[in-house]
Structure 1
Amino acid sequence: MQIAFLVAPKGVEQIELTESWQAVIDSGETPHLISTRSGRIQAFDHLEKAETFPVDRTVDAAKVSDYAGLVLPGGLANPDALRMDKTAVKFVRDFFDAGKPVAAICHAPWTLIEADVVRGRTLTSFPSLQTDIRNAGGTWVDEQVKVCTAGPSTLITSRRPGDLEAFCSTFLSEFSQAVQRA
């Protein structure tokens, strides 16, 4: 099972990328780093530069059909940049249209809002996004991890890095179940 991680060239919260990535590897599956540009992406530890990571594929060359699910790590700048890129937004929307599961943590629901896939769904996020989610037609809850099965695809969301253990185990379980149903 291959799992796509969509990140902008700068601004992904490193721990949300690396812990989710390692959880995928530890489960015996294959993660792929997708970005809007080739080369390397710059991760951050909050507002400080952290490590860089190689991009496996650009979003314009990636195919939803190649992946069992999509992970959207957060950080402040990462989802803000992704929601301004039409190809990235379409890639996210295409996962929903294909009925494939999507997992988003922290500020990543900003990208979901731009993709217009929040309406009628219940999700969690970093608390500062709750008004944005409500304005986009979603229901915001303050939970460690929330699984929403409304609509054609499952949406797994989580609030912050402190929720990563629950987030990772939940999205891996949901992705595996989706593959078994397909």
Structure 2
Amino acid sequence: PEYLYVTALFLTAIVSICTGTSWGSAGTVGVAFMGVAIGLDANLAATAGAVVAGAYFGDKLSPLSDTTNIASAAAGVDLYEHIVHLLYTTLPSFILSATVYVVYGLNYDFSNVATPEKVNTMIHELEQVYYFNFLLLIPVAIVLWGSITKKPTIPVMLLSAFIAIINAILIQKILSI
């Protein structure tokens, strides 16, 4: 529980970088983190702050982000060159935020609220609803690979979405929407 806030920051940033959307990241992984925070009786404002910070960090640096693409096109510079220059202001603020969330999490008193029984109950309930498997990370890995190797966005996203649908059917047993 001590690392809830910094974990929310990092994972929301990763999802936002992979998807190129801050709102989509906050509305998916952010909602999940808020549920975990409620279950652990953690500080909801700090959790929401970590989610929003991670979402906007990822959105700003994602080659899939609409605002990043529009800004580089309007300035007439290469997209990846633009992202490198965004790191000068974005990375220090992210590091500072991560440091604050680590310090806050280590000093937050979880002893009475996040008991091992509560945590184990939450994990058990999640396992009843979802099947956890490393194969579920393949769509994320595809998007990261596409971004790092500067592949065209649309084919990378389509491949990632196709693999995600296959995962949903085969691993999560989702047969209808």
Alignment TM-score, normalising by the size of structure 2: 0.30
Structure with larger RCO (C-alpha < 8 A, sep 6+): 2
Question: Which structure has greater strand proportion?
Answer: 1
How does the TM-score come out when normalised to structure 1? 0.29
